[in-house]
Structure 1
Amino acid sequence: MEGITHVRTRPARVSLWRCVVVCLLFLMSGPAAAQNCAATMSNVSFGAKTVSNVYGSTTTATITEGCTAGFPTRGTLNICNRINYGSSSTSVTNRYLRSSGTSGVIGYQLYADPAFSTVFTYSPGLITAIHYSQASGGSTNVTVYAKIQSLPMGVPPGTYSDTYSVSSGSLARFGALAESDVCTNTAYIGVALTFNVSVTLLASCTVQTANLTFPTSGIIKNAIDATGSMYVSCTSTTPYNVGLSAGNGAGATVAARKMTGPGGATLTYSLYRESTRGAVWGTTVGSDTVYGFGNGSQQSYLIYGRVPVQITPTPGLYSDTVIVTVTY
């Protein structure tokens, strides 16, 4: 009879031990533990850029995450970070920034490494293992690397953004038991990652010029004409005005510029906005400048020069420097 009693007692103890294990698993993956873990991600801001420096620009953001003390884990916490795609994008491989009221898009990508080689995706996620203490908890920071990948021609200035809201499905998932399936097992705690990606594209213009050279002449008994070229590139939809200064010659005005030669001698000339050489090209916006409207590509202009009939000065080389100003 004592042997029978001994056999009956051992299963009772095993059953009690199993009950304790089951209860622990339930506590670690149940809803009550969700209050102990948190994750936030800072916004991804590329700042203000011009057309000339926005392509290839980079920045970073930080995911701050962890669990407070009291979580019954074994000393290691597995955190899976999964970033889906935002409201302006079409997939994790095609992430875009868009601006309200325009059709322009700017391509960008989020990466898990500073070499910009591993795209930060939703599946698979990125698992980070951190030390966890039941007495003090555990936390970590994860860096997200971002890069502008494309800038189609003609994108107008403005603020471009992509929003990652709760509906985007991006999240950090915490596995208290350091299980490898923390990214896929929905029994683990999941915290939504919400953030915004943005860049401000500034209105900008650049200008290139070529020298205007008058032909060699002797006695100036007839007007001498020549043309020069100028190229202006402005962001799409950007209005601008191009002005030409009076030059460096002593006593010069935009109506009568002065080239300087041997011994300080001067030669009068003028620059015009059109081929008939009736409209002087000056610096007063709305009066004697040339107006343009940017289209995101290079726009060319001709500068019409004329040396009028005048008393021929001392023979030699005459030159002047004119400053081109683009106002936008």
Structure 2
Amino acid sequence: MKLLLGTLVMLAGGLLTGTARADTTCTTSAPVTAAFGNITNAAGSPTVTTTSFTITCNTTALSLLATASVRACIGIGVGTTGVAISPLRRMTNASGDPVSFQLFTNAAYTNIWGLTPGTTPGPLVVDLNYSVPLLTGGSGAVTVTIYGRIPAGQTLAAGNYSTSFSGADVRLQYAFNEVLLGTATAPAACTTTAGVAGNKTATGGFPFTVTATVLPQCSAYVTTDMDFGSNAGAITSNIDRTSTIGLTCLNRTAYNIALDNGLYANGTVRRMRHTTNSAYFIPYELYRESTRTQRWGSTANVDRVTGTGTGSAQVLTVYGRAPPTSGPVAAGSYSDQIKVTITY
């Protein structure tokens, strides 16, 4: 019995003073896309989004009362289309137009999420403490949230925007301590290498993408009337006049403009009607260019006028022609009304 008790005391003493000899490995899940959704040019308020992921640390079995402590730095870089972390990151559309945004470690959007420990802005620092049972080993997990914000008041171009974070842009560095009995002391920093059980760095573990969409937009429509003037008797030669259609579309907004055949067309021939005698008409036509050979109509991909917005006002010219008439023309005023349809 004495021998047995002695052995137990010696074993207990070993638990108190023994050095932990196990491995700790931390991994991360992949966040879902941080999607800002549809954002507005010159928005009056910021647009925000979030995404989250989990860091999990596993330590192999040590002893009945063992614990592990991990201090991890989770870093995020500039992204595939970025040039700097601070003051603002950026994503771009297919034409290279930028949208500025930022990623934060807190819901108050005050702490910018950086990449490298010891720099400003720095990475997110998290601590994990957990038991490491003898038979099964132990693990700890923490879920972290990325807070994204697009500042208000940006002048934007239409398009789908994105930037991706992977490889060296998503870095996990961690130091860990393990003890056979009691509570493990947290490492002083994730970069600490001396006096700790281990230190590791992993890249590419939590790749994710940030996206946003700026919808096409047109506004500020202005049209002018086309006045063919006065003519005495029959029209013996072409009367050419112009009018304009003005619009302002967001940069990169593709649009097309259709003109219908008016109120009094005969088939596809546009006509002005006498204002007091509905039996009289004067034919005319509208064209897309000054030579007046390309009719301006309403069929997509055939005779509409297409364009791309610049963010500034654009003015398009409508070219009209009243051709010579056959026979006399009744005196009086003639008019028609054209419906303009702008699609973007």
TM norm structure 1:
0.64
Match of 1:73 in 2: 67
Q: In the aligned structure 2, how far is the partner of 1:271 from the partner of 1:235?
A: 28
The partner residue of 1:117 within 102, 110, 128 is: 110
> Which structure has more helix as a fraction of its residues?
1
Alignment of 1:1-328 (within 5 A): 20-21=16-17, 23-24=19-20, 27=21, 32-34=23-25, 37-46=26-35, 52=41, 57-68=47-58, 72-73=66-67, 78-93=71-86, 95-97=89-91, 103-122=96-115, 123=117, 124-129=122-127, 132-134=130-132, 137-148=139-150, 157=159, 160-165=162-167, 167-168=168-169, 170-171=171-172, 173=174, 175=176, 177=184, 179=186, 181-186=188-193, 187-192=198-203, 193-199=205-211, 204=216, 206=218, 208-213=220-225, 225=241, 227-231=243-247, 233=249, 236=252, 241-247=256-262, 249=263, 251=265, 255-256=269-270, 270-275=285-290, 279-285=294-300, 287-292=302-307, 298-304=313-319, 311=330, 320=337, 322-326=339-343
Q: Any stretches of 5+ residues in structure 1 without a counterpart?
A: 1-12
**1:282 Cα offset (Å):** 0.9
Q: Is the 8 A contact 2:93 2:159 kept in 1?
A: no
Q: In the aligned structure 2, how far is the partner of 1:68 from the partner of 1:260?
A: 89
Compared CA separation, residues 178 and 81, structure 1 to 2 (3 A) = farther
Q: Any stretches of 5+ residues in structure 2 without a counterpart?
A: 1-8, 178-183
Deviations 1:15-58 (A, max 9, x none): x969944614xx4xx6x122xx3222314343775885999654
Deviations 1:85-141 (A, max 9, x none): 3344333225343578x6554443211233433211123332345674556743221
Match of 2:6 in 1: none
Compared CA separation, residues 80 and 103, structure 1 to 2 (3 A) = closer
Amino acid in structure 1 at the alignment position of 2:142: T
Deviations 1:261-290 (A, max 9, x none): 789999766543345666432123454332
**1:64 Cα offset (Å):** 0.9
Amino acid in structure 2 at the alignment position of 1:213: D
Compared CA separation, residues 125 and 179, structure 1 to 2 (3 A) = farther
Q: In the aligned structure 2, how far is the partner of 1:212 from the partner of 1:306?
A: 16
> Which structure has more strand as a fraction of its residues?
2
Instruction: Provide the secondary structure at the position in 1 that maps to 2:24.
Output: helix
Q: In the aligned structure 2, how far is the partner of 1:181 from the partner of 1:265?
A: 96
Match of 1:4 in 2: none
Q: Is the 8 A contact 2:258 2:296 kept in 1?
A: yes
The count of residues paired between Structure 1 and Structure 2 equals 300
**1:306 Cα offset (Å):** 6.5
Q: Is the 8 A contact 1:46 1:57 kept in 2?
A: no
TM norm structure 2:
0.61
Q: Is the 8 A contact 1:78 1:174 kept in 2?
A: yes
**1:151 Cα offset (Å):** 11
Instruction: Provide the secondary structure at the position in 2 that maps to 1:120.
Output: coil
* CA RMSD between the two structures: 5.1
Q: In the aligned structure 2, how far is the partner of 1:209 from the partner of 1:259?
A: 26
Compared CA separation, residues 145 and 273, structure 1 to 2 (3 A) = same
